[in-house]
Amino acid sequence: MTRLTRRTSLGLLLSAPALVSFARRAAAKEPEIYTEDGLAINGSDPVAYFDAKGPVRGMAEHALSWNGAEWRFASAANAEAFRAAPDRYAPQFGGYCAYAASRGYLAPTIPKAWTLHDGQIFLNASLRARELWLRDVPGNIAKGRANWPGILG
């Protein structure tokens, strides 16, 4: 039989707030949009992936807020295009790593690890993750959609 001493009881009592705090953090829902320093796609222009065929740095003077994140654009025209149809231009899986989403977890992304597929942009955590993603894009999309948005917490 285990016996609790005063010291053990006091230790458990004092650690309880830390355990509750940890559990609350662990159960906290992740934001719908992945950001770094509050910026979606690390400040890259999402419309440019379609027009310029890759990441282009956005500017603060062409920024707008959508879904809890700041999105930056290389031009006022790109900002307006996004404002009119954000779901068309925003990366899938909230800008989190598409390969990770297909595997059931969240990971950050880098703007240069991207894929345009069926008119949608998918970002990955690294160029290596992008290589793995490209092995079965339709299958990985299906797996990611099955996991999304449940993996946000």
Residue 97 resides in a domain: yes
Residue 44 resides in a domain: yes
152 is written with which tokens?
A: 């946000």
| Beta strands in 17-80, from DSSP E residues, in sequence order | 35-36, 39-40, 59-66, 69-73
Compute the distance between CA of residue 133 and CA of residue 130 in angstroms, rounded to an integer. 5
Domain that holds residue 118: 91-153
Compute the distance between CA of residue 98 and CA of residue 100 in angstroms, rounded to an integer. 5
Exposure class string for 116-131: b at 16+ Cβ within 10 A, else e: eeeebbbbbbbeebbe
Examine the domain organization and report whether 66 and 116 are in the same domain: no
Q: How much is the pLDDT for 53?
A: 85
Q: What is the pLDDT of residues 7-57, one digit of tens each?
A: 544 444 444 444 333 333 445 899 999 999 999 999 999 999 998 889 999
- Give the chain's mean pLDDT: 88
Examine the domain organization and report whether 95 and 142 are in the same domain: yes
149 upstream amide cis, omega within 30 of 0? yes
Examine the domain organization and report whether 36 and 72 are in the same domain: yes
User: Could you tell me which residue, 141 or 13, shows the higher pLDDT?
Assistant: 141
Examine the domain organization and report whether 48 and 64 are in the same domain: yes
Compute the distance between CA of residue 103 and CA of residue 88 in angstroms, rounded to an integer. 24
Residue 142 pLDDT grade (very low, low, confident, very high; cuts 50, 70, 90): very high
Mean pLDDT of 68-84: 98
Mean pLDDT of 97-108: 98
Mean pLDDT of 120-145: 98
Predicted TM-score (pTM) above 0.75: yes
Q: How much is the pLDDT for 101?
A: 98
For residues 96 and 34, is the Cβ–Cβ distance under 8 A? yes
Q: To the nearest whole percent, how much of the chain has pLDDT over 70?
A: 82
Residue 5 pLDDT grade (very low, low, confident, very high; cuts 50, 70, 90): low
Examine the domain organization and report whether 41 and 58 are in the same domain: yes
Examine the domain organization and report whether 63 and 111 are in the same domain: no
Residue 5 resides in a domain: no
Residue 100 resides in a domain: yes
Residue 145 resides in a domain: yes
Taking 3-state DSSP, the helix, strand and coil percentages for the chain, each rounded to the nearest 5, stand at 50, 20, 30
